[in-house]
Each structure stands twice: as structure tokens, then as C-alpha cells.
Amino acid sequence: MANMTNTVLVTGGAGFIGSNFVMHWVKSVGSAVVNLDLLTYAGNPENLETLEGDSRHIFVHGDICDAELVGSLLLKHRPKAIVHFAAESHVDRSILEPGAFVRTNVLGTFAMLQQAKQYWLTLHADEKHAFRFLHVSTDEVYGSLGLDDAAFSEVTAYAPNSPYAASKAASDHFARAYFHTYGLPVLMSNCSNNYGPYQFPEKLIPLMILNALEGKPLPVYGDGSNVRDWLYVEDHCSAIRAVLERGVVGESYNIGGNSERKNLDVVQTICDLVDELRPDASLGKRRKLITFVTDRPGHDLRYAIDTRKINRELDWKPALAFNEGLRKTVAWYLERAAWIKNVRSGAYRDWIQKNYQERASK
Ligand code: NAD
Ligand code: TYD
């Protein structure tokens, strides 16, 4: 039997966080990455352009639900770890089309765990000990906080409110069960809202940057008082590395940016940054574009993360302050006309039409 290699199998590595992680890994760790991605609307090979021609990045176009494919990739590449990002990730889509979330997030994670277990059982004792399955999840599994509630910790009870959060919660429970029942060396991380380069412009921050740039309405759900805790994507990548390298198997780690902001404040700051970096006299101040629209059904009021465990046990903390990260992010999108044009294909336009046409301005 061949030995385990230094290769890492990443799922969903053509998406937002996955592509940032693959680039981070190849550049700073340097071992090979097998990147399994179905290239759904959210997956984009252009995100990985900087790795073109780099033999350390092996891209495989395929589905995490395809157990045979996953099993054969594991036997062929014999990775020392799996970092599992692949998911349907957008709450609004989960409200309109929940079935895809059950399939990918629940059944896909189950297929990954099952194939990982089969492969892990073939390893030598010392390799079995060293192998890791890192399941990447979200703080949304904990439900919603009141404005004065204590932040989510690793022992907060699960209370998912959206179909997205419910599907991620189910996948977390399977990951935990595979450790508890079979001893598979599973690690779990639950992170707050990410932002930064390569995020698909259906999510709040990139959507608002592009609409502000183009002088389109900025659709704020409800009254804009919902609070999210924002983390720059590079900081999420460094946290995942810390969990992978120093985390205790069977444990979960909450990851956050200690940067709680009301949505309206985020959107106003984006307007000011776009005004500063791309002034447009014909538009005037972009804040005028803010439009309050019908709220998201079941909209969670607040997410906040207690990062003390990962800080204390793995010596991790975010490097970038929110204002600095947001400025970098706005500047990144303003310089990426070709990338933006390509991701806003026909399918993107259909989604914008579907999600926003019913949300009349209030
Ligand atoms: P994303 O939607 O940008 O990317 C998802 C990727 O998964 C895409 O490349 C897509 O093609 C791929 N994918 C989807 N279905 C697949 C399938 N069946 N087989 C193989 N690949 C498939 O998502 P993201 O924002 O990068 O999030 C990545 C992970 O991090 C998700 O598990 C998400 O729940 C979690 N997370 C995201 C955030 C956030 O703010 N974006 C915060 C915390 C946790
Ligand atoms: P989003 O980026 O979809 O992340 P999540 O729902 O996973 O937190 O949304 C972030 C916040 O922004 C959330 O409170 C919903 C709100 N929002 C808007 O107000 N308008 C929009 O057009 C979008 C996409 C989101």
C-alpha cells in the first residue's frame, strides 16, 4: 500500500473562500492541492488564474456527491488532509430553492465523510493519526442573537433559521458523528461573514460595490439594522490553517473578525469609499442610491462570534481591521472589470431579476 502524501484535497476551491485558500496554500505552504469543484454558478476557474501552469494545483471538475469519483481521487492522490468548503452558500437562494442545499450541503458532506472514512481505514497507524478532515462551516447554525446577547461560542446550542443554515447544521452534525462513532479525525470551524477579493456579487458587499460604481439602487433589506460580524477572507484562510495544523481532533473552533457592523453602516461606508476612489459628478453622493426594500423572510437580526477559544488555544487572531479590509476590497473590485463582466453572465442576471423584482422599494 502506497504511503500518504503531503497533498491536500480541497472541495469548492473555485468559489470565493476556497479559491483564496488554494492560492494561500500553494503560495505559503507549497504542497500540492487537488481541487474538486463542480463549477456551479458560484465556481469560477478565473479565480485561480494566478496558479495557471503551476503543477501543484490539480483541478478536478466534479461533484462531491459522486462517491465513486471522490473515492478514486483519495486513492489516487492519498492526501494527508481534506478541507471541505464545497456548498451552496447563499441564504436568499436557499429561501427560493432549498432542495439544492439539501443535496450539496447534506448529501455531499455525507458522501465526503463516507469516502474519507473508507480511505482513512486503508492508512497505516501513524498516518491514520496524522490525517485530518476539516469541515468548514458557518456561524449561522447558531441562529440569531438579540442586540445585547453574548456572542456565539462553541457551546452555543444550534438553532438554524434559514434552509441554508439548517443544511449546514445537518452537515456539522454528520461531521461530528463521524469523529464520535468511527474516530475519523474531524475538525470543524464555524466562521462569521467573509468579504474580500473573488466574492460572487450576489452577497452584500460585492453587490453594493458594483451597484454603487454603476449608479444602480442599493437594495438594503428591511431597515438595515441587522448586524453581521465581518472577517477578511485572508484571515479566514489563516484561521483554517491554524485549525488544520494545531486543532484538536473532534473539536470545533469559532472564527470571527470582532467587527460587528449594521448593514446600513456597511453600505454607507462602501458608498463613501466608491465616491472617494471613483468620483462621478453626474451621480453625486452614492448614499442617495440606498433603497430600503422588502425584508428577507426570517432574517436573522445579529451574528457575533466569541473568538476566545481559537485565540487562546491556537494563537490565532484576525490581522486586518474592517475599515482597512473594506478599502482593499473596494479597490480590488474597481480594478477587475473583466472578471466582473464574466461572472455577471446570463445566469447572474436571471438571479438578480428573481431575487429583487418582488422586493419593491419601501
Ligand atoms: P461559494 O458559493 O463562493 O463557493 C462554493 C463553491 O463550491 C463553488 O466553487 C461551487 O462551484 C462549489 N460547489 C457547489 N456545489 C458543489 C458540488 N456539489 N460539488 C463540488 N463543488 C461544488 O461559497 P463560499 O462563500 O466560498 O463558502 C465556502 C464555504 O465556507 C461554504 O461551506 C460556506 O458554508 C462556508 N462559509 C462561508 C462564509 C461566507 O461568508 N461566505 C462564512 C462562513 C462559512
Ligand atoms: P449576505 O451577504 O447574503 O450574507 P448572510 O445572509 O449569509 O449574512 O447578507 C449579509 C447581510 O446583508 C444580511 O443581513 C442580508 C443583507 N442584505 C441586504 O440588505 N441586501 C442585499 O441585497 C443582500 C444580498 C443582503
The model's pLDDT over 37-58, given as tens digits with 9 standing for 90+, comes to: 999 999 999 999 999 999 999 9
CA-proximal residue: ligand 2, atom 23 (nearest): 204
Q: Is the CB of 220 under 6 A from ligand 2?
A: yes
How does pLDDT run across 19-40, given as a tens digit for each residue?
999 999 999 999 999 999 999 9
pLDDT at residue 127 greater than cutoff 70: yes
346 — pLDDT class (breaks 50, 70, 90): confident
For residue 203, report the distance from its CA to the centre of ligand 2, in Å.
6
pLDDT digits (tens, 9 = 90+) for 69-97: 999 999 999 999 999 999 999 999 999 99
Q: Which residue has the higher pLDDT, 313 or 361?
A: 313
Average pLDDT estimate for 183-205:
98
Q: What pLDDT shows up at residue 94?
A: 98
DSSP 166-222: HHHHHHHHHHHHHHHHH---EEEEEE-EEESTT--TTSHHHHHHHHHHHT--EEEET
The verdict on 83 and 72 lying in the same domain is: yes
- Whether 141 and 211 map to the same domain: the answer is no
Give mean pLDDT, residues 216-237.
Answer: 98
123 and 88 within one domain: yes
Cα separations in angstroms, 338 against 16, 17, 52, 292? 17, 20, 17, 30
Q: Indicate whether 165 and 249 sit together in one domain.
A: yes
On the question of pLDDT at 361 being above 70, the answer is no
Q: Does ligand 2 come within 6 angstroms of the Cβ of 231?
A: no
Whole domain around residue 352: which residue ranges?
204-227+260-297+321-356
The rounded distance, in Å, linking the Cα atoms of 148 and 162 is: 22
Residue 3 corresponds to which cell in the numbers above?
504511503
CATH number at 213 reads: 3.90.25.10
168 close to ligand 2 (CB < 6 Angstrom): no
**Residue 358 pLDDT class (50, 70, 90 cuts):** confident
| Distance between Cα 225 and ligand 2 center (Å) | 11
* Whether residues 160 and 285 fall in one domain: no
Q: How many domains in the chain? A: 2
| pLDDT tens digits, one per residue of 321-340 | 999 999 999 999 999 999 99
| Distance of CA 286 from the midpoint of ligand 1 (Å) | 31
Work out the average pLDDT over 202-229: 98
- Ligand 1 proximity of 39 Cβ (cutoff 6 Å): yes
Mean pLDDT of 201-212: 98
Q: 12: Cβ below 6 Å to ligand 1?
A: yes
Of 344 and 298, the structure prediction assigns the larger pLDDT to 298
pLDDT for the residue numbered 35: 98
Residue 268 forms beta bridges with which residues?
Answer: none
CA of 299 to the centre of ligand 2 (A): 9
Q: Is residue 186 part of a domain?
A: yes
Per cent of the chain over pLDDT 70 is 99
Residue 360 has pLDDT above 90, yes or no: no
